[in-house]
């Protein structure tokens, strides 16, 4: 009799559990229609079929990312303007480069940039690999006078030669300038910062507070998500000043500078809204330091809306929930190998 | 009978072991008289009674060491010129600072600098805490116009305020400029790089190869260890060009620039020989890139000796054995806290 009762109790428990599982699967997620605008980060890196991410290449790229010998003066590395300690950027309005020259626009964060449709504010680089070449050769940035000198510096160091052979094993010439950029690009493809926001999108509705979820609704209802959607809530091209012009002294006209087409005037590649509370100052000219001001400006320029204080605050609360976690490997410094007698010396002039 | 034999065998073994232990303790170490010039690193950090090293202070100092908001432009941190990825320095002949101005002398490595008798080539700072203030305020380096602005930047960030309170709990005003330097100094006091050389000094004669030990003998026999002795094989004051002048275009006359005394002309604080293969270019003017050339110059200027190729090579072999291991915590980047509305903005001018 006791045994029978036990069996019945067990069966009852299993039935209840099964019912609960089914019902919670089919129950409507109250945030479903909002979540549909966005995608979570679910991978460790964003691969590139033309430059597959491998552990060897990532480690080499990590070293080169911190390598000041890739700048003419020996002062700058990728890390100078895209420092993981500073959420993947320098947090300066525009950047300072060789001989104290300035870049025309603000440097964006490298974190999650692998998801962008194109790189740079004007989208002039198709992907991270192409982008990586730009600052090395730009006279306002790292100012290497030629690809050859960059290769000569790196190829004079036996440890790098060995690492290029291991990272690009199928290539007869493993160390063209191209592969310096490919290694750096592979490293940057691992710089993803998933966080609470992704847990929320993946089904854990408790990962965001009620205020943050309310902010998300305001964000979507106002129309922000019509452009700021997908994995990085941005990353595509959009006109800055769709309804009202964005006032700026910046020389950059965005995509127009690349294509020369009238319709591309002030069209910029939107940077990500992930980690946005840490990736100030905002906009291509880096002129805006406060997140609430940036939200208000967006309301005006993109939607012709004058956002009230409470709406602005709600959106800012939501945006702060987009802060993720910096992966541990991004916060490590490599030990750079020594130069040799053959290494061309740094030149500050 | 078998038992008795076993007991005898065991006793015999114990006796032999005891004899071996005693004899190897009393046996003459063939390198004893050489080792007497040097001291191993046996501690985790070099403490300062006036600024005791605590974990909280070290963590705060580590953040501030990487903090570009301590420079006027927001571009430079301590790490720019003393990068652990580059063995605690920039590896530039002289450093590049605010508005592309140059420092008069080469930046030394921060690694093991806690053991120096004084800081800077001219010894103008008594200790690391005092040194840390110099570059922040130097118009050629980080160029902060005042101590007040440095404090204002840091004190505008709540996380820093909290960390200063925890790091300096007994002080009524925990965030004077002094304590920014104290925290950085405490961090730098942990940047020690023990290695094979220390294991050798502590009794493991196999930690160095025969060639390295032969090189050590040459180094001592020639007289190098009369100045390059102690824990860091340097760190005290010495005239550069004791026998023959060191030819240089450097504006620095060393200690003379501080004291104005004739006898201090070209007297410099010797930098450490630890990690010397990685801490080129050499000498106060950073004019010499090759270790063998530096050794030859030292032979001439300090001893009036023209060292032959084999002697030079022996010494270089020994010097390379002085490379230690960079501690793991030195190779980590902090995540820097966000600025606030009250944080004075960077100024590149």
Distance of CA B335 to CAs A106, A146, B35, B280, Å?
Answer: 20, 34, 43, 30
Inter-chain residue contact A92 with B99, CB threshold 8 Å: no
pLDDT < 50 stretches in chain B: 22
- Report the pLDDT value the prediction gives residue B2, as an integer from 0 to 100: 57
- With a cut of 80, say whether residue A22 has pLDDT above it: no
A141: chain B residues, CB-CB within 8 Å: none
The predicted-structure confidence for A285-300, as pLDDT tens digits, reads as follows 999 999 999 999 999 9
Inter-chain residue contact B100 with A100, CB threshold 8 Å: yes
Mean pLDDT (chain A, rounded): 94
Nearest to B336 among A68, A86, A330 (CB): A86
- Report the pLDDT value the prediction gives residue B340, as an integer from 0 to 100: 97
- With a cut of 60, say whether residue A20 has pLDDT above it: no
Of B89, B105, B82, residue with least CA distance to B255? B105
- With a cut of 60, say whether residue A71 has pLDDT above it: yes
Least confident range of A3-17, A255-269, B27-41, B70-84: A3-17
B53 and B189 Cβ atoms separated by less than 8 Å: yes
Both tokens assigned to B215: 């090189």
Both tokens assigned to B146: 């005042």
* A344 CA: distance to closest CA in chain B (Å): 11
- Report the pLDDT value the prediction gives residue B101, as an integer from 0 to 100: 98
- Report the pLDDT value the prediction gives residue B7, as an integer from 0 to 100: 57
Nearest to A332 among B278, B332, B345 (CB): B332
Distance of CA B127 to CAs A162, B117, B131, B194, B227, Å?
Answer: 41, 8, 6, 21, 20
| Strands annotated E in chain A | 237-239, 267-269
Selecting among B59, B67, B129, B141, the annotated active-site residue is: B141
Note the ipTM here: 0.91
Nearest to A85 among B90, B326, B334 (CB): B334
The stretch A129-145 carries a mean pLDDT of: 98
Sole residue written with tokens 């300038």: A177
- Report the pLDDT value the prediction gives residue A17, as an integer from 0 to 100: 54
A12 — contact with chain B (CB < 8 Å)? no
The predicted-structure confidence for A142-179, as pLDDT tens digits, reads as follows 999 999 999 999 999 999 999 999 999 999 998 999 99
Packing angle of the helix pair A55-65, A158-167 (nearest 10 deg): 140
- With a cut of 70, say whether residue A19 has pLDDT above it: no
Of B316, B326, B337, residue with least CA distance to B110? B326
Number of cross-chain residue pairs from A and B with Cβ atoms under 8 Å apart? 95
- With a cut of 60, say whether residue A16 has pLDDT above it: no
The stretch A249-273 carries a mean pLDDT of: 95
Distance of CA A248 to CAs A104, B94, B272, B287, B349, Å?
Answer: 12, 38, 52, 46, 20
- Report the pLDDT value the prediction gives residue A14, as an integer from 0 to 100: 58
Positions of A annotated as catalytic residues are: 141
B131 and B119 Cβ atoms separated by less than 8 Å: yes
- Report the pLDDT value the prediction gives residue B323, as an integer from 0 to 100: 98
Whether B141 is a known active-site residue: answer yes
> What DSSP line would sit under A131-196, residue for residue?
HHHHHHH-TTTT--S-HHHHHHHHHTSHHHHHHHHHHSTT-SS--SHHHHHHHHHHHHTT----BH
Give the SS3 label for residue A98. helix
- Report the pLDDT value the prediction gives residue A246, as an integer from 0 to 100: 95
- Report the pLDDT value the prediction gives residue B14, as an integer from 0 to 100: 57
B85 — contact with chain A (CB < 8 Å)? yes
Distance between CA atoms of residues A25 and A8, nearest Å: 26
Inter-chain residue contact B91 with A74, CB threshold 8 Å: yes
- Report the pLDDT value the prediction gives residue B4, as an integer from 0 to 100: 58
> What DSSP line would sit under A286-331, residue for residue?
T-B--HHHHHHHHHHHHH-----HHHHHHHHHHHHTT-B---GGGG
- With a cut of 80, say whether residue A310 has pLDDT above it: yes
- Report the pLDDT value the prediction gives residue B341, as an integer from 0 to 100: 97
Residue A13: pLDDT band with limits 50, 70, 90: low
- Report the pLDDT value the prediction gives residue A4, as an integer from 0 to 100: 58
HSE-CB at A76 with a 13 A cutoff on CA atoms is 29
Sole residue written with tokens 């023209």: B306
């Amino acid at each position: 009799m006791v045994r029978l009762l036990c069996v019945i109790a067990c069966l009852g428990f299993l039935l209840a559990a099964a019912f609960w599982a089914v019902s919670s699967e089919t129950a409507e997620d109250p945030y479903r229609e909002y979540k549909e605008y966005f995608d979570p980060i679910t991978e460790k890196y964003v691969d590139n079929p033309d430059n597959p991410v491998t552990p060897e290449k990532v480690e080499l790229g990590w070293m080169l990312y911190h390598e000041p010998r890739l700048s003419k003066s020996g002062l700058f590395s990728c890390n100078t303007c895209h420092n993981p300690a500073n959420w993947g950027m320098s947090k300066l309005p525009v950047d300072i480069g060789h001989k104290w020259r300035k870049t025309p626009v603000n440097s964006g964060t490298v974190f999650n940039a692998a998801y962008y449709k194109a790189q740079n504010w004007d989208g002039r680089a198709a992907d991270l690999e192409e982008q990586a070449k730009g600052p090395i050769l730009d006279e306002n940035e790292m100012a290497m006078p030629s690809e050859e000198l960059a290769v000569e510096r790196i190829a004079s160091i036996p440890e790098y030669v060995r690492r290029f052979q291991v990272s690009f094993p199928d290539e007869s010439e493993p160390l063209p300038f191209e592969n310096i950029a490919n290694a750096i690009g592979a490293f940057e493809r691992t710089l993803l910062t998933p966080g609470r926001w992704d847990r929320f999108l993946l089904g854990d509705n408790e990962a965001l507070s009620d205020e943050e979820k309310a902010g998300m609704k305001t964000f979507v209802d106002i129309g922000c998500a019509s452009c700021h959607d997908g994995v990085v809530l941005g990353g595509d091209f959009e006109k800055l000043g769709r309804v009202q012009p964005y006032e700026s002294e910046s020389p950059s006209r965005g995509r127009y500078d690349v294509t020369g087409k009238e319709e591309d005037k002030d069209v910029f590649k939107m940077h990500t809204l992930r980690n946005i509370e840490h990736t100030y100052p905002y906009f291509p000219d880096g002129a805006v330091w406060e997140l609430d001001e940036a939200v208000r400006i967006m309301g005006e320029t993109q939607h012709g809306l004058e956002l009230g204080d409470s709406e602005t605050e709600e959106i800012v609360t939501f945006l702060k929930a987009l802060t993720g976690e910096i992966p541990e490997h991004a916060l490590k410094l490599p030990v750079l190998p020594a130069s040799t007698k053959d290494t061309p010396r740094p030149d500050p002039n």
